[in-house]
Structure 1
Amino acid sequence: MQITLLHATPLEICSNAIRTCWQSFDKSDNGGERDLALIDRVGNKNKHSSTLEHLFYNFYIKGISRACLQELARHRMASLSVKSTRYTLKELKNCESFLPLDSRNLARAQQFLVFCGEPKVNEASVRALENLRILLSEGISNDLAKFCMPESYKTELAWSINARSLQNFLSLRSARSALWEIQQLARAIFEALPQSHKYLFAHCLEQSPTPKNPMPHA
């Protein structure tokens, strides 16, 4: 997956909003250490987290599966603009067959699919991809053909979220109980944040290694 931060609200916007409540503008150090500490104290330590909603982040997310997208969409205090399958399945229509399931065709399929650590699942995804390709090549409309898309099919999107909701996302989705792919996404999003903003979110990450594509349990 590829995560690109497109824009982040300057931190002084948040500190200024907090100082509005007490009219304490004379105590500001113009975005310096005093203002940064104020954001953390009020927004995190004192739990007035609504003040963090003044901070907004815009990301471009590329290469996650539709399964991961479905979980991402559960975070409703965010805005998503997703690559349309209705208009973009032509990217698959003119491809050559993905069969037989040899190393070359598996590598070609990874252009369209997110693979996991179970070869049988990956092979089943490639067969589903081939079925989709055949339907498109036979003139079946995108609107109908997309009903047989595998959950592993890659997508991309613009994602915008405020800091309060991002804290919630990182707390839930970095947990070891979360889907391995969205754990990877959560950590990649944290890494994409401006270095000066990370102090507001570091406590939200579960302290465990970044998950790899899992092998099935015995």
Structure 2
Amino acid sequence: MSKVILAGYNVDAEVLADIVKSAEGDWDLTPETLSAAYARISRDARPVDELRQIARADVAKTRRQNERIVFGLGHHSVAEHAVFNFDLINISRLAIEYLESHRLASYTEKSQRYIRLDSDFLIPEEWQQAGLKDELKAFILYCFERYEVVLEKLKFNGIDEKLAGEDARYMLPLAAFGQLGMTLNARSLEYMILRLAASPLKESREIASKLLEAARPIAPSLLRYMDPTPYHTERFEDTHNTLNRLMSHHPVPVPVPAPVPVPAPAPYEVALLDFTTDGDSRILAALAQHFIGGSFSKVQDWIDAIGDEGRLQLFNAITGKMSIHDAVPREFEHGIMTFEVIMSAAAFAQFKRHRMTSITWNPYDPDLGLTVPKAITDAGLQDELLLINNKATKLANKMGMKHPATPYVWTNAHRRRVLITLNLREMYHMSRLREDESAQWDIRQLVGQMSELARQVFPICAGFLGGKDQFPK
């Protein structure tokens, strides 16, 4: 008969510290014992709970075993059984972008939409070294002052306080502090520390040091290789220098293939660059192959032969009993799309959380203009945002537009180009969440345009894209 044993679960570190303090004997509480016990499963026939007991009995031996298995034999997945929770407090919005670019972790972040913000912010060391500390501080304080003014004026115009705060935050810079809770395993933590340690931002490098300082005493056998190599520290500069050299010989930019000719509605620039051209038949064939058998190409030929009406009947059979809480089947992952999107920092802060997509991005670019909330325009307050932009641009020019620490002055309204590749299954998840009536307007409109383009190229299988509130329709 099968047996299921709860082997461990998250407990607050302060509770654990109190237990150890009040307990008799020498307690060495570490998740390394779970990693070591599970590492032995493949070569030791004893029950897993007994292996855990053995690992707990001699932590020093357990750590030596982990080092040999994880780093000596290269079985790094063993480290994934050790999990950490971190509180990250007083981290700039810019550094949070660096941090949350790591896919294999869980984040819950302080929302600038729901919380009225105090004037808490970072003066980066890079700006102090450049002799611009006072100018940057004055600019940030000005942004917070105008944030309060705009917030109150929007409320005076009858806008709900939460919605007013949601739009007033477009005045705030990326130097504003945030906070988050983060959960990740030791393998992901090691890689995160390495990447942050190689960051051009001093703030990110300090976060790397503090993460290591907090975690290494708990699990020293699982955290070892975190010193950046030249691959991590010099790759960007090498690439930049090579591109400059190539451009000197080829001054005319290489033509970029035209996007798929599907119109992108204003005011957002959303272009569908590429997609699975036979996406509907490919997805439906993948679903049908389980029942029909034989090669995929044979089944896809049959799917093509049954026509649109037959394909629609099959799609309806698959999705007919689906509720808003159900994910579409995994076979929908065989339909792929690549978008280029110009989005605000406010929208990107939400979009980056879709970590099952492939997202790469350019720096914030003042030449792309600003995303100005309609409520601010309707209230005649757009000049407030434009004045902040002028001040930010002047400061950025003093610091140097290409300096890694310059983006601290850009606001939630500033924009960047983002390249996104995702499958249709993830598009459904994104659409349900971000097109719902409760979603923030900026990302709701952006994802709505992505969904419209998806429906044009996957007319059958993308038919149910839309927010949760639209699902019954």
Specify if TM > 0.5.
yes
Separation in 1 of the partners of 2:100 and 2:81? 21
Deviations 1:148-202 (A, max 9, x none): 2210111111100111111101111112x43111111111111112614134324
Deviations 1:104-140 (A, max 9, x none): xxxxx4xx11112231333222222222121122235
Distance 1:44 1:151, change over 3 A: same
Match of 1:86 among 106, 109, 113: 113
What letter matches 1:40 in structure 2?
E
| Residue aligning to 1:188 | 210
**1:143 offset after TM fit, Å?**
1.5
| Residue aligning to 1:21 | 42
**1:80 offset after TM fit, Å?**
0.4
Q: Secondary structure at the match of 2:189?
A: helix
Structure 1 residue runs of 5 or longer lacking an equivalent are 93-108, 208-215
Separation in 1 of the partners of 2:31 and 2:105? 19
Separation in 1 of the partners of 2:82 and 2:98? 23
**1:6 offset after TM fit, Å?**
4.5
Q: Secondary structure at the match of 2:180?
A: strand
Separation in 2 of the partners of 1:143 and 1:38? 51
| Residue aligning to 1:98 | none
Relative to structure 2, which stretch is displaced further, 51-60 or 36-45? Answer: 36-45
- Pairing 1:64–2:64 present: no
| Residue aligning to 1:114 | 122
Separation in 2 of the partners of 1:204 and 1:31? 26
Give the TM-score normalised by structure 1.
0.75
What letter matches 1:147 in structure 2?
Y
Distance 1:57 1:173, change over 3 A: same
**1:146 offset after TM fit, Å?**
1.6
- Aligned alpha-carbon RMSD (Å): 2.7
**1:10 offset after TM fit, Å?**
2.0
| Residue aligning to 1:74 | 101
Alpha carbons 2:144, 2:172 under 8 Å: kept:
yes
Alpha carbons 2:92, 2:122 under 8 Å: kept:
yes
Summarize the alignment of residues 89-100 of structure 1 with structure 2, pairs less than 5 Å apart.
Answer: 89=116, 91-92=117-118
Structure 2 residue runs of 5 or longer lacking an equivalent are 1-10, 14-28, 156-163, 230-398, 401-473
Give the TM-score normalised by structure 2.
0.36
Alpha carbons 1:78, 1:161 under 8 Å: kept:
yes
Separation in 2 of the partners of 1:145 and 1:133? 8
Q: Secondary structure at the match of 1:195?
A: coil
Query: How many residues are treated as equivalent by the alignment?
Result: 186
Separation in 1 of the partners of 2:87 and 2:218? 20
What letter matches 1:19 in structure 2?
R
Q: Secondary structure at the match of 1:63?
A: strand
Distance 1:6 1:59, change over 3 A: farther
Q: Secondary structure at the match of 2:108?
A: strand
| Residue aligning to 1:148 | 171
